[in-house]
A and B are shown apart, each in its own frame.
Chain A
Amino acid sequence: MDYARIRIIRAGPLTTIQDAGRPGWLAHGIGASGPMDRGSFDRAGFWLGASGRAGIEFSRNGLSLEIDHGRIVVAGDGGHFGVAINGRRKKWPFRAALKRDDFLEITPGSAGNYGYLRFSGDFELPEVLDSYATNTIAGFGGVEGRSLRPADELTIINPRLRVESRNLSAMPAETGPIRITWGLHADMIPDFVRQGFIERPFLISDKLDRMGVRLDDPTGLFRDFLLRSLISDPVLPGDIQILGDGTPVVLMVDHQPTGGYPRVGTIIGADFDRFAQLRPGTEVRFEPVSVERAQTIRRSIIV
């Protein structure tokens, strides 16, 4: 059997194995997980023509790895990172053929919280419910259900060495408000609070992970308006919950499957990836759209 093996030399926090996730198990209390920025994960795979199903999601500090055995083609995308192979810098996003003893270093860049590496073959890892995705909250999937760390070795079986040569291009940076649909509990939130939510600025706080992103509320909108807890209902990524102390939290892909905090709104699917990449300190404004409008926006992106 032909294989390649990579060894992790340096990994920032929240570096995990992800694939398209394991949707469909919410009734068993299991969230879908998967990449925080699905679009970038998919693009990194696209640069290889056809890649392995899973990839590595890394965070702002980047990642270094070494090829221990064999040959492999790799591509990276998501946010804006620095990348060098054996000390020679490349442009981001990138694609490269690597062989034994090659050293790939991804360094912090100018934008984004998450980047992705995809490879020209599948990892030799156990699947959990047909997925390699790491569920960081329940601790399963990926490598022993945990973040990657230095000295971890990953084997890629039957790597392809010829890939389609697709022209690499960076996604134009999208700006503007993050669009939401009003939430389940919008009817129990007074008009002036809803109005405040779309008029006032919020900031991405430094408390963010794969479960959720806490927002700073510099004008104290929710500090002055405390909402009581409710009976638990199912929640989904993008839901904006207001905690008991007034902190807004946007639920992300490793969210708990149910929640009992009031929800103001839900970030639309088309803006979720962009939101996930916003760094701490970034100002964010929300703009309400109808469900139908949200679907039209998404359709225009996909088709």
Chain B
Amino acid sequence: MSAPAPRPDLPLLQPLGDSALLVRFGASLDPAANRAAIGFANVMAKAALPGVIEVVPSLVSVLVRYSWSIISLANLMGEIRLLLSAPKPEQAATITHVAATIFDGEDIADLAVHLEISPAEFIRRHNETALTVLATGFAPGFVYCGFHPEALNVPRRSMVRAKVPAGTVLFAAGQTAITSTPIPTGWHIIGHTAFRNLDLAQTPPTTLRAGDGIRFEVA
């Protein structure tokens, strides 16, 4: 990915409705903005500010839900600016997960043609890079993992599939994703995994955290 021009106005603090705000670290998806969002979400969670109800890291932003009867928007923004200006803590050592995958996805052949490589070479290159869990979102337990090298970048499909099952391994836009519930998707299906990120009987209900490492292997 090419380095985006620095944005002096970032991170941007924007109210979202009357009881939340968003801290944005980028306007497009790049690794630095993603790392900054995950790092700030961890700092924010650790700070445990009174009145902060929920901290949600996303691809390049962090949602902060707050109780305005405990902290005003202005005070919360002040506290957040203080946290943002503090020295960044050492990144804790991350866990690396392995997703054993059966690469039998119906779109692999098309992807290989598009990238002008063989299906086997596509699978090899796909698994070559150690990826990071960029965010959980879109649906329960759905994870975005990135980034693959630029040479593997393909756009989404033009047609959306109505429903793919839990454990489907998807590929698009320089990322691999794993579904945890049946969802509609415009991403390419490259395989499926027995790994289940979501277990509603457990607390917390998901295994993968934004910032964790993840490798895909042929099952």
Contacts and interface: CB of A to CB of B under 8 A. Distances in A.
Interface of A: 23-30, 128-129, 135, 137-140, 181, 183-184, 230-234, 236, 238-239, 256-258, 266-269, 291-292, 294-295, 298-299
Given A129-B200, A184-B22, A266 B55 contact: no
Contacts of A267: 17
Contacts, number: 124
Contact of B15 (A128, A135, A232, A291): A291
B28 interface: yes
Given A181-B18, A236-B20, A291-B15, A26 B54 contact: yes
Contacts of A27: 41, 54-57, 136, 210
- Chain B, interface size: which category? 35 or more
Given A23-B65, A29-B206, 6 more contacts: A28-B141, A29-B180, A129-B205, A232-B138, A292-B73, A299-B68
Interface of B: 14-20, 22, 24, 26-29, 41, 53-61, 63, 65, 68-69, 72-73, 135-142, 180-182, 198, 200, 203-206, 210
B194 to A, nearest CB: 20
Q: B20, B56, B210 — which one has the most chain A CB atoms within 10 A of its CB?
A: B56
B56 A256 contact: no
B140 A138 contact: yes
25 contacts: A23-B65, A27-B41, A29-B137, A29-B142, A29-B206, A135-B140, A138-B140, A140-B200, A181-B15, A183-B16, A184-B16, A231-B26, A233-B58, A234-B56, A234-B58, A234-B61, A234-B63, A236-B17, A266-B17, A268-B17, A269-B18, A291-B15, A292-B73, A295-B18, A295-B68
Contacts of A295: 18-19, 68, 73
B23 to A, nearest CB: 11
Please indicate which of the listed interface residues A25, A135, A256, A298 has the most CB atoms of chain B within 10 Å of its own CB.
A25
B37 to A, nearest CB: 10
